[in-house]
Structure 1
């Protein structure tokens, strides 16, 4: 009968987490340097100093790495909804999204990689493809509609989708170096979304 020490499982799990993090960090660096298409599983494993078999113990394919990197980018973004009356729903949405964009841009290499992918890769289009902060935005839009400060004739889900596209455009413009400050650029695009182009 084999007797394991109490710390056996923990150290094994810690080692597994370290290897997984190493693979993710290596993949991100290689994707940033060569582009997603230019990096193979073999490249990631070799650069990380592990075998292909070890890679496949952690990830079934590169797409799983994409999904995990996207999750890493948006994981800490859900922020407390800014306090205030429902009549201030749109300023609260602006405050929430500015804080989210600023937090995401702080992890510059990861944010620039995710938002410069030439297409929204299938790994990012699943259930978790929308940053969780958009759930809070939708709630604020629903409250704003009930308070009469957001158009009641357009479903809140559709308004939230438009705001999500605006957020995505601001992040992409920043990631592709077309906007030096993501918060300022987001503010301009949100103004266009909220107020249109009428003078």
Structure 2
């Protein structure tokens, strides 16, 4: 009986290791672009419950991946300033709007700023991906119908194998998100179900 118990424990340990290896092999070469999780976007502009669900899914994905393969994209917000002294008109950055949502898990300092909607307009991002030999890229964040769609399609155009995870993507409304996801799917963008990442 004791021998059977030991054998059962050994099988259980080996099975756990196999599942972990499967998960690691499945996602080890994939990179993740995290977009739009800034106070400016998430603070009161979107449904609180939907925002929290999206954030929870995003954080889980971030924690699963190799930290070196995660890239955070921060949108730059510029403010036009008027002054009574020279220069009379100048621009500055809205540092409060640029802050990440405090709920977002940060696993590294791979933070790239962008001015345009399309993340791939950033030379810094392209250089990072090329230097790290990135081929398969997952994109999460918001907004589905704007920044996410534009970036995914541009990444595909450049030649990257692009993926999206709907559970970790948010739109201005559920209807707009669904419409954006369906459009991207028709254009050949692959979809991962969130639960499948945990199961792999």
TM-score norm. by structure 2 comes to 0.27
- Structure with greater helix share of residues: 1
- Structure with greater strand share of residues: 2
TM-score norm. by structure 1 comes to 0.28
Q: Which has the higher contact order (CA 8 A, sep 6+)?
A: 2
